[in-house]
Structure 1
Amino acid sequence: MTELKELIKQRATIRSRITLFERFLTPLKCLDSVTERNKLINNELSLRLTKFQELSYTFDEVQSKIEGLDSDLSKQMEEREQTENQFFQLIVTAQEFLEAYNDSKLKQGDESSCRGSSASITNHVKLPPLKIPPYSGDTKRNAKVYQWKICSNCLRNDHLSYQCRLAGCRVCKRRHNTLLHRSNNLPSGSQPRQSQSSSSPRHEIQNNVEPSTNNLPNSLEATINSKNGSASPNPIVTVSAGSSNLALLATAVVEVSNNGNIFKLRALLGNGSQYSFITEAARAKLACVTTKESQYVSGLQNATVGIAEHCNIKVQSTYSSYSCDVTCYVLPVITDVLPQAEIRVNELDIPSNLQLADPAFFRPGDIDLLLGAEIFWDVLGSSQVKLGRDKPVLRETLLGWIVAGRNWVNYYKRPNKVYCNFSKTIQEQLVKFWELEEIPNSKPTSNSDDYCETLYNETTQREGDDVNTARGLIRRAITNLCPLPNERDEDPRSPKVFEGGKMSTLTIT
């Protein structure tokens, strides 16, 4: 209740600023001509208009929080429509003033340039006039949107912008169409986010986890207190992070029953998966009976993973009476711990009256179960609560309220120590398996070995029955002594060697 009063007070402040802007525009309407407004007034109007547009974004955030807390939704919707109409009318009026002043300055500049050129140019060839297309910039587009009273996000006329469910601008991610994007839409204090390539090094982060319990839902506070009561005062969390901007994935705690036993498992809701999966550890914990089945699961870049078995489980919601039978394929590991780092949950301003599907969504933990698209679209509801710019969104499901979406790095706990490791790719690691088992293609050889190989190839041939036939002498001794009698008698050095008394003739019988 205190939070709702604070938000209503902020909305009243925004209304007072709307009144101040309207008072500034009133004297401008009384001027007879555009030329009576000097350059200083128009510059001030341009600055005020920029601030006023940023104020409309702030109102949208505050009003969204009020709608999530107040039970009388119809009253809040009327309040939103009335205030937004004021914004639209004043913005269009200010833009018309600026356009009229700019058009008048252009006309005056053209007239003066024509007079000066006609006085100085005498004998020159006159070129045909150039047809310049009329200006159709962002300002006129925004004015037409407000004039036609259409959705500024999808440009349709059957609803207003706050009711639109489509994605926003592709450039600044705000709630307007990309065609209406202007370079000054971003606040002056915000900095563009820099994306990191997938080849960036992974960081091992160690951080002391001491989450605060201020302004948290009851389920969150109970989870933190129960964890801190049984764990060490300064537990260490090891996190692998490859990017500075991490999206928050939807997780839920569900009850899984088998043979009368009920276990609580942490599930990841993934509408991008055609099947559901369970880890080997969770299956062993449930003692499920598996069925042999050979399947292949394809992922990014058509990378395939072989699956040998599946099991049937019954999933029960802890939030409602919803239950369903799910066929899960068994995998050793589904994914890394989620989220990858501890989140400062007290800065998200989650309403305390909502029951979360995963009360410990902010703490890194293992994923036991992946519920695919067949379950995701059955449990997804229509109610949602926006927590603000660059913050995740709360979405109601039959499993409870899930927290998912954008999550800027500021909501992650700062690491005390950072270790950088350059890990090789999986392909490089797999190559080592067969490189260690391969026989070397060649080995170092001497000149004598090369000569023997050449002589063997020239004088030896292979015949049938695995018989090798040598033609001529295979190899001579260094002293040119040969055991063959004919060669010994023909060599003039042989008698001298035998006369030395160290050798004798061998008689073969």
Structure 2
Amino acid sequence: MNQRSGTPSAISKVHAATIQKTDCCSLCSNEHSIDICDTFKKITVNSRYAKAKQLGLCFLCLKRGHRTTNCKSDSSKWCECKGKHHPLMHSKDKESKENSTEEAANKTTTDQAIAGSSKRSEEPRTVAKCEVPSTPTVASKQVLLATAIVEMVGAGGVKHNCRALLNSGAMANFVSESMCDILSLPKSCANVPIVGVNGTKMNAMFKINATVKSKTTDYESSIDYLVVPRVTGALPSLKLNSKNWPIPTELQLADPKFFIPSRIDILLGAEVFFDLLQVGKIRMSTELPILQESRLGWPIYNVRSVTGVQNCHASSSNQYNEQLNDLMKRFWMIDEQIKDQLEGDECESHFISTYFRGEDGRYVVKLPFRKDAGELGDSRTQAEKRFKALEARLEKYPDTKQKYKGFIYEFISLGHARIL
């Protein structure tokens, strides 16, 4: 009690406790933070990134509970490179890796390529890697195939320019579907198997007969062409620099733009190939192609050394064989199912028991009727109502009524109906 005021005084008590907070290492579970952990420091930077991601640590402060983008730690504690990561997460040997020799790069393993993807975001990162054997660049050989610009006569005698490939190794002539649509010529069924390199197979389902005419001579020929989706790829594979080739200016080239990659519309095979050739031949030099005289002009062909050839027009794939095997497998499965269903089929037994051969040689069989067909029900009343409604309507149109009566009498006379 307060003696001066005579009133009781309130007594308050405050209890304070001091607890020493110690950080527990997420890696080794000892009483220290992970940034001073010897175990964490001994592993590589890439392994530190992996461990931090596994333990859910922030890459800036190496603590749990938030993402790196939401970290509010003091920027003065960031790495000296100004990157948004802890100093322990900085790769000191990054510069030496970027300046490594080509031989060392070729020996890089897949694990190192994956680890390299964890470097800081502002530096170039390896997204995809393709290792190519380090071999000296040598001149490849590009085969320059003989091509010619010809005229194809389509429907109505309309002429269309197209680019032809002259190929003595083909046993048939081919036309692309796009060119076939332009010609608008009638198709006929063919179903001819076409076998290519490595035994690849496809079927040409249609063929057309078209007339091809030369643009330089009076040659023309009417032959059959198998219709295929595409004859081949663009030829030549690469654009050629023919400015310095000593091509005689007085010659009429079969394909004036032979050096520019373009699509092939038709292929002229051995059926007409040797008939097109003539005796003239000009060899410009040992390193340049040959000019060959033909009824289509002077096509250019041979082997010329060029670098960087990217395409080779030869196919070696098992895709068509796999598709054919799958198709045959499905066919036999369906056939087996049909056989199972037909074992107890009544159609065959009905045919055997009811058929006979008429005097004219035709086979006659009795129409089968379902034995379990239900009754029609009470439809007479409804039929009579419709018939009377029809009579009332025909009374309004005498001409139509007369034609209707004539049709009914003819129907009865032919035996298709009878009066009940």
- Give the TM-score normalised by the residue count of structure 1: 0.34
Q: Is the radius of gyration larger for structure 1 or structure 2? A: 2
Greater helix share, structure number: 1
- Give the TM-score normalised by the residue count of structure 2: 0.41
